Amino acid sequence: MSAPSEYLLWSHAELDEIRQQRSADNAMGRSLAALEVRVTASLARGVVIPGQGEAGSFEHNTHKENARLIEGAALLGRLDDDTRALDHAHELLAGYAACYREMPYQVARNTNPPGKLFHQILNEHIWLLHASLGLALLKPTLSEAQYQTLLEGLFRPMLEMFTETYRHDFDRIHNHGLWSVAAVGICALVIDSPSHLAISIDGLDGTGETGGFLAQIALLFSPQGYYVEGPYYHRFAIHPLCLFAEALVRHCPERNILEHAQGRIGKSLNVLLSSAYPDGRFPALNDASRTMNLDDEGARCAMALLAARYDAPSELLTLARQQAGCWIQANGVVLMRAMREVSHEAEVRSQLFHDGPEGNSGGHAHLKRGKGLAAQHAVLTAGQHGMGHGHFDELGLTFFSRGKEVLKEYGFARWVNVETKFGGRYLKENEGYAKQSVAHNLVVVDMQSQHDGDHALADTQHGNVALLDGCAAGARAQCDNAYENVAMQRKVLLLESHHTETPLLVDIISLQSEQPHVYDYTFNHGGQVIRWWDGEFTALAAWEVMGNSAGYQHLWKTGQLTADTAHSMTWLDGDSFHSWHQITQAPADVFELRVGANDPQHNLRPDAKVMTRLTATTQTFYNLFESHGHFNEALEQCGGARPEVISFTTLPSPDGVTVLELTFSTGQLVLVLTDPSLLPALHELEIGEQYYRIDQEVMLLER
Amino acid sequence: MSAPSEYLLWSHAELDEIRQQRSADNAMGRSLAALEVRVTASLARGVVIPGQGEAGSFEHNTHKENARLIEGAALLGRLDDDTRALDHAHELLAGYAACYREMPYQVARNTNPPGKLFHQILNEHIWLLHASLGLALLKPTLSEAQYQTLLEGLFRPMLEMFTETYRHDFDRIHNHGLWSVAAVGICALVIDSPSHLAISIDGLDGTGETGGFLAQIALLFSPQGYYVEGPYYHRFAIHPLCLFAEALVRHCPERNILEHAQGRIGKSLNVLLSSAYPDGRFPALNDASRTMNLDDEGARCAMALLAARYDAPSELLTLARQQAGCWIQANGVVLMRAMREVSHEAEVRSQLFHDGPEGNSGGHAHLKRGKGLAAQHAVLTAGQHGMGHGHFDELGLTFFSRGKEVLKEYGFARWVNVETKFGGRYLKENEGYAKQSVAHNLVVVDMQSQHDGDHALADTQHGNVALLDGCAAGARAQCDNAYENVAMQRKVLLLESHHTETPLLVDIISLQSEQPHVYDYTFNHGGQVIRWWDGEFTALAAWEVMGNSAGYQHLWKTGQLTADTAHSMTWLDGDSFHSWHQITQAPADVFELRVGANDPQHNLRPDAKVMTRLTATTQTFYNLFESHGHFNEALEQCGGARPEVISFTTLPSPDGVTVLELTFSTGQLVLVLTDPSLLPALHELEIGEQYYRIDQEVMLLER
């Protein structure tokens, strides 16, 4: 790919290759067909350039779509040598060039400075980026007069706004900053403005340390490639990253951008794509929608760039099948070819992503088992807080099994671009509930959120996490700073054995303190509760609000069980049953909860939760989750509605060693978890009447 | 098809034709592939004949599956000339023949007499039917000794149980009765027992009037083909109907079964298949699951029989695309061919199905607009009660639009075959909530169910319904007997115009009485409430139970609006917005409700409802439902989140005439509904300052 790229990201020869995918039955073929439909519709409609409007309004949506149409029509025009499409792209640009200078600024709706087309400048950056790619495709056949009109009316004023008017904001290290530098940099490459290109790469001070693309890459991503705000914003940040990186590879090869910061771009692609669940959705960590997935434009570019510029692991090429479309660019063609060569579904593998610019601010363990849609994926999170989009969820757990998220993230409280929901912006229940600790799958201490719910404090601290030895999918995490004088530790494992059809999730969470505290173990589940197996469940005659603050004010208590040290419940979610078994050392109350109290504007979803509460100084919650059986309501077929685990108990063990006994109709398993520091001294362990040699952190014994 | 059918429902020549579909990319090809997988797995597993168990248990499921395997392995054996598969089918039969006589009876779990393999005889009938079809396929190559062993050990004792032991039950007119006569009749044809064949057709008294197949057909189905219990049980009853009818066509042509009772079989196929929503699901009228669909075995047979033995309308052949599989029989081959010839999606059309054996016990209006999955389908129900499975839902309404049920039926309270939910049987909340009037989309009077919630009373009465003139999709229904001294009338229309992307649903429901009553207009919706447009919504600080009986004891009140004569609310369900606008003559309170109070066993789903309440003697609720906009959360695209209807009002009009004015950003529509008896006298109507000529029951005027 050292051939000239006449159209910035596309060369003549590459357009020929893309054209050959036109009727292919693959993601590229579908994207090309979709592009043709959109451009044809726009040609039929004609140029529409509306005034200013709210997020989610017709005006907002039309401006957004117009930028994409400028790029899309120009690209289709080049692919098909179609003058009508090229003219359409030019007319759209000319329409904006005719009015942009005189257009007033919008009113700011949040902390983001306002643009002219949009109420936040971020959208204007995105607009410029697409429009610049369109201009790159059009430029070779524009007359000088046409070109100058576009430059003076549109591109120069935009650059001026971004780099002069909002100069104070240009170097900000943030996902918005990435869009800003990529838009300015790509525009600069197209219109040949070396000064703008320089600041977009090296920042305003020219050092590459405090602003510009180089600094954004080095500071926003950990050395391993993890993005501080989590997957939802990662896929958003990676879009300009991919586009600007590809442009620099082609036009500034001397910058060696792919090698920058120990090859951080490639690592970041890997982390983003590896963090997706088997169905292509991203775990909704921090502020995030529950449906964002690999079909996002950014993720499409990431997958294509990884396939073309790196050695993409076959696990990710398998996952690429969850993408309906593909980046219409030479890298996308390479991806299509690479996918053809991966004939069967690759086994997934567990990974640990270190967080922080130095890679020493905790991290995130992605534990995986299995293949394809049947694979399991658990995330144990103990990294940085995630800045303004962070949730108070150190040691939080999410879990995907049998095609669904079983331990659910709530995600954000927001309907993006839904005008009738506060203009599509973040709702106050996002702070009020979604970010609070109790919204997550973890233990809440004294009904307060971690770090007192203080973002600034949380941003200065982090947990730690490591993979467990002796287990293909296990991790332990700890955090001693989320609550004053309470140390938290969590161990999570996916256990494979011949006793169950699907691996089991073992979840052990320990709290140590010298003072007594209220500990609330809580998890979010979907579907319908089928049955509580032990104790007496009471449905409340009137629902009660759980508290006044830290998210508890938004929780209804709907039912409860008598206090006990063992609890077990089965629920049905779609076509699969799931069961939860818990053992505590002291008796715990169990509550069924539902989200939605104190929500007159219907900003919350009425999701179901379970909470176990006890008061103790030091306490461990031993949990086991299993997916079992099947139910097809339409065919009225059902099997395995009862848990496969008949009993789940702890056995006596020395300090630093946990011994769990799991009984099935087919036999028994004993799981021994040993503090690694004890291993050299510990030789044998007596379990029941037998002695076992213990030489690994995790040992799974058959009995 | 007058060739010999050597294997009862299959001839040599037909098996050849089926074989040619083996790798076809159609429903038959998929069914053949699935059959091969099942039989191969069973061959690998070997013959497993367990003891007795509960519904949903391993034993129950295995017996059920074994009957299907006997038929399936025998059929695959004949198709492939595969001795192993044929032997497997024979071994299964021989296994049962070895133990059946000595097997004790099960314990009865409901009003159904117990069988030996199953706790209700119904399952044993189904078992015999499949096993008999298997025997028909095996018989030509069995030795006389083998054949006699099967007869004596299995088939004769089963026939004896069904026709002697349970002789008192054999003539019962019921869906179970249809299975009984079809099983006995088909077995009689296979083993050549004229006496059993005679009673299965003509009943025990030989008249064909009180029992047997002929009487079942004439009494269970209305002359137009409607089945008294509704679609869910219709598709269940139609399965033996199709099989036995096909057998009689082939082996007793002199019976002219397809002409029996004015061709009721064909009409019944038509009604069943026409009642399915565009996505293939059946509206969950009366006791029904919400997921039962055209892929049910009975519906598959019905579609194939209709295509092969009748002229199937192209609307139904289009709908057949919702079937993943197909009846593996010659009729299925004909269906596959017929579907190929329907190249485009046919326009749906509204239909009225009269209820009752004489066709004069009310009926059910199916109102439809559009094509394919985008079609709309509303059902206005005013027929018979539906015997033991009936719901108290006269003048109930269901509505499907944009790929989803918008006005939802609750369906039954039951998890079929889920052992851990009361053995898969009907739950007490089925009577307690699901059947009660308030569970449906209608007006409840004085917080009581229709007919005092008395099934016996309800079975003696019915409403009436007719299609409206002057409208492709409109109906009016009335019922004066559901509540003492209250006359109810409902008019429902799907309005198409250039003002909205999707047709509007107009729903006008009137109550007349001389005494004041509490009227509760109620509907069930999915998704998430986005916004109330008028009035002040208050979320309750503590949820309250709505009442003590008639289903109200299972409803939570979660929020309310100030009393007013106009209400409007938008909700989001998946990718579409829906809005409801209501006008009442007197101020009405509005409540948001949620199902699930007083349900300690989690037998109810926490569905959302809206209720409007007022007290009046005579009152009309004018309602308008619209589907609008679109939302793709994953792509973060949204448009049209606000209702397209800007205002909805009634205009002054003479008695017997309703005038509704609908205002859009694009103009105004006036809907004039006139009592047909007034039409001859009514010449012109002044609306605003204009005069309109009124000559039809429904007139839609542009302004």
List pLDDT tens digits, range B603-635. 999 999 999 999 999 999 999 999 999 999 999
**CA A578 vs CA A527, A533, B701: distances in Å:** 10, 13, 56
Q: How far apart are CA B441 and CA B274, in angstroms?
A: 21
Mean pLDDT of chain B: 95
Q: Is residue B2's pLDDT more than 70?
A: no
Phi and psi at residue B166, to the nearest 5°: -105, 35
Q: Say yes or no for a CB contact (<8 Å) between B545 and A542.
A: yes
**CA B206 vs CA A448, B62, B158, B522: distances in Å:** 78, 37, 21, 49
The three-point CA angle B461-B466-B468 to 5° equals: 155
Question: Model confidence over A612-628: pLDDT tens digits?
Answer: 999 999 999 999 999 99
Q: Is residue A257's pLDDT more than 50?
A: yes
Q: How far apart are CA A556 and CA B609, in angstroms?
A: 19
Question: Model confidence over A681-701: pLDDT tens digits?
Answer: 877 888 888 888 999 999 999
User: From B293, which residue of chain A is nearest by alpha-carbon distance?
Assistant: A634
Q: How far apart are CA A131 and CA A140, in angstroms?
A: 15
pLDDT-derived band at B3 (thresholds 50, 70, 90) equals: low
Residues on chain B touching A556 (C-beta within 8 angstroms): 543
Q: Are B174 and B237 in contact (CB under 8 A)?
A: no
Q: How far apart are CA B605 and CA B409, in angstroms?
A: 12
Task: Pick the closest to residue A501 from A633, A380, A665, A634 (CA basis).
Answer: A665
Residues on chain A touching B419 (C-beta within 8 angstroms): 638, 641-642
Question: A300, A415, A593: best mutation site toward chain B, by most B Cβ within 10 Å?
Answer: A415
Give the three-class secondary structure for B662: strand
Other residues' Cβ atoms within 10 Å of the Cβ of residue A168: 9
Residues on chain B touching A635 (C-beta within 8 angstroms): 295-296
The three-point CA angle A109-A111-A115 to 5° equals: 60
Q: How far apart are CA B193 and CA B199, in angstroms?
A: 11
Task: Pick the closest to residue A582 from A532, A618, A546 (CA basis).
Answer: A532
Q: Say yes or no for a CB contact (<8 Å) between A572 and B418.
A: yes
Question: Model confidence over B68-112: pLDDT tens digits?
Answer: 999 999 999 999 999 999 999 999 999 999 999 999 999 877 778
Residues on chain B touching A530 (C-beta within 8 angstroms): 415, 418, 420-421, 602
Q: Say yes or no for a CB contact (<8 Å) between B418 and A530.
A: yes
**CA B527 vs CA A634, B84, B290, B413, B439: distances in Å:** 21, 52, 16, 20, 17
Question: One-letter amino acid identity for A593?
Answer: L
Q: How far apart are CA B217 and CA A670, in angstroms?
A: 61
Q: Give the 3-state DSSP-derived string for B36-94, with helices as H, strands as E and coil as C.
A: HHHHHHHHHHCCCCCCCCCCCCHHHHHHHHHHHHHHHHHHHHHHHCCHHHHHHHHHHHH
pLDDT at B628: 98
User: From B556, which residue of chain A is nearest by alpha-carbon distance?
Assistant: A542
* H helix intervals, A154-230: 156-160, 167-170, 175-191, 194-202, 212-220
Give the three-class secondary structure for B318: helix
Distance from the A531 Cα atom to the nearest Cα atom in chain B, whole angstroms: 7
Q: Within 13 Å and on the Cβ side, how many CA atoms surround B214?
A: 20
Task: Pick the closest to residue B59 from B123, B102, B153 (CA basis).
Answer: B123
Phi and psi at residue B135, to the nearest 5°: -60, -40
User: From A642, which residue of chain B is nearest by alpha-carbon distance?
Assistant: B420
Residues on chain B touching A628 (C-beta within 8 angstroms): none
User: From B527, which residue of chain A is nearest by alpha-carbon distance?
Assistant: A605
Task: Pick the closest to residue B668 from B695, B641, B687 (CA basis).
Answer: B687
Question: A57, A570, A572, A602: best mutation site toward chain B, by most B Cβ within 10 Å?
Answer: A602
Percent of chain A with pLDDT over 90: 91
- Selecting from A419, A556, A641 the residue whose C-beta is nearest the C-beta of B418 gives A641
Distance from the B445 Cα atom to the nearest Cα atom in chain A, whole angstroms: 25
Q: Is residue B684's pLDDT more than 90?
A: no
Q: Say yes or no for a CB contact (<8 Å) between A543 and B556.
A: yes
* Length of chain B counted residue by residue: 703
Give the three-class secondary structure for A460: coil
Residues on chain A touching B292 (C-beta within 8 angstroms): 634
- Selecting from B417, B600, B606 the residue whose C-beta is nearest the C-beta of A606 gives B606
β-pairing, B690-693 vs B684-687, is antiparallel
pLDDT-derived band at B1 (thresholds 50, 70, 90) equals: very low
Give the three-class secondary structure for B599: coil
Q: Are B189 and B247 in contact (CB under 8 A)?
A: yes
Distance from the B559 Cα atom to the nearest Cα atom in chain A, whole angstroms: 8
Residues on chain A touching B61 (C-beta within 8 angstroms): 637-639
ipTM of the complex as predicted? 0.93
pLDDT at A1: 42
Whole-number CA gyration radius for chain B? 27
- Residue A154 is classified by DSSP as I
Q: Is residue B475's pLDDT more than 80?
A: yes
Q: How far apart are CA A24 and CA A325, in angstroms?
A: 12
Q: How far apart are CA A643 and CA A500, in angstroms?
A: 10
Burial of B547 (0-12, 13-18, 19+ CB in 10 A): middle
User: From A530, which residue of chain B is nearest by alpha-carbon distance?
Assistant: B602
Q: How far apart are CA B175 and CA B179, in angstroms?
A: 7
Burial of B145 (0-12, 13-18, 19+ CB in 10 A): exposed
pLDDT-derived band at A4 (thresholds 50, 70, 90) equals: confident
Q: How far apart are CA A402 and CA A628, in angstroms?
A: 9
User: From A574, which residue of chain B is nearest by alpha-carbon distance?
Assistant: B291
Distance from the A696 Cα atom to the nearest Cα atom in chain B, whole angstroms: 38
pLDDT at B690: 87
pLDDT at A3: 58
Distance from the B384 Cα atom to the nearest Cα atom in chain A, whole angstroms: 25
Residue B659 contacts by C-beta under 8 Å, 6 or more apart in sequence?
B650, B651, B652, B653, B670, B671, B672, B673, B685, B687
Q: Which of A2-6, A230-234, A460-464, B689-693 shows the lowest per-residue confidence on average (mean pLDDT)?
A: A2-6
User: From B420, which residue of chain A is nearest by alpha-carbon distance?
Assistant: A641
Give the three-class secondary structure for B214: helix
Q: Which of A159-163, A333-337, B143-147, B339-343 shows the lowest per-residue confidence on average (mean pLDDT)?
A: B339-343
Q: How far apart are CA B251 and CA A174, in angstroms?
A: 79
Q: How far apart are CA B132 and CA A167, in angstroms?
A: 84
* Length of chain A counted residue by residue: 703
Residues of A230-256 as b/e, b for ≥16 C-beta within 10 angstroms? bbbbbbbbbbbbbbbbbbbbbbeeebe
β-pair partners for B611: B522, B591
Q: What is the mean pLDDT of residues B452-470?
A: 96
Q: Is residue B699's pLDDT more than 70?
A: yes
Mean pLDDT of chain A: 95
Q: How far apart are CA A294 and CA A282, in angstroms?
A: 8
Residues on chain B touching A596 (C-beta within 8 angstroms): 558
**CA A622 vs CA A324, A444, A572, B288: distances in Å:** 40, 16, 22, 41
Residues on chain B touching A55 (C-beta within 8 angstroms): none
- Selecting from A291, A596, A637 the residue whose C-beta is nearest the C-beta of B417 gives A637
Q: What is the mean pLDDT of residues A484-492?
A: 98
Task: Pick the closest to residue B95 from B158, B162, B154 (CA basis).
Answer: B154
Q: Are A413 and A426 in contact (CB under 8 A)?
A: yes
Other residues' Cβ atoms within 10 Å of the Cβ of residue B286: 27
Residues on chain A touching B542 (C-beta within 8 angstroms): 542-545
Q: Is residue A111's pLDDT more than 80?
A: no
Residues on chain A touching B528 (C-beta within 8 angstroms): 602, 605
Q: Say yes or no for a CB contact (<8 Å) between B542 and A544.
A: yes
Q: Say yes or no for a CB contact (<8 Å) between A420 and B641.
A: yes
Residues on chain A touching B572 (C-beta within 8 angstroms): 415, 418
Residues on chain B touching A544 (C-beta within 8 angstroms): 542
pTM for the full model?
Answer: 0.94
Q: How far apart are CA A588 and CA A561, in angstroms?
A: 9
Question: A638, A644, A665: best mutation site toward chain B, by most B Cβ within 10 Å?
Answer: A638
Q: Are A73 and A133 in contact (CB under 8 A)?
A: no
Q: What is the mean pLDDT of residues B118-140?
A: 96
- Selecting from A531, A601, A636 the residue whose C-beta is nearest the C-beta of B420 gives A531
User: From B594, which residue of chain A is nearest by alpha-carbon distance?
Assistant: A606
Q: Are B280 and B273 in contact (CB under 8 A)?
A: no
Question: B294, B417, B553, B558: best mutation site toward chain A, by most A Cβ within 10 Å?
Answer: B417
DSSP E strands: which ranges in A617-697? 619-628, 630-632, 637-639, 645-651, 657-664, 667-674, 684-687, 690-693
Q: Say yes or no for a CB contact (<8 Å) between B634 and A293.
A: yes
Q: Are A298 and A239 in contact (CB under 8 A)?
A: yes
Q: What is the mean pLDDT of residues A660-677?
A: 96
Distance from the A292 Cα atom to the nearest Cα atom in chain B, whole angstroms: 5
Q: Is residue A2's pLDDT more than 60?
A: no
Whole-number CA gyration radius for chain A? 27
Q: Is residue B54's pLDDT more than 90?
A: no
Distance from the A116 Cα atom to the nearest Cα atom in chain B, whole angstroms: 21
Residues on chain A touching B637 (C-beta within 8 angstroms): 61, 417
DSSP string computed for A58-98: HHHHHHHHHHHHHHHHHHHHHHHT-HHHHHHHHHHHHHHHH
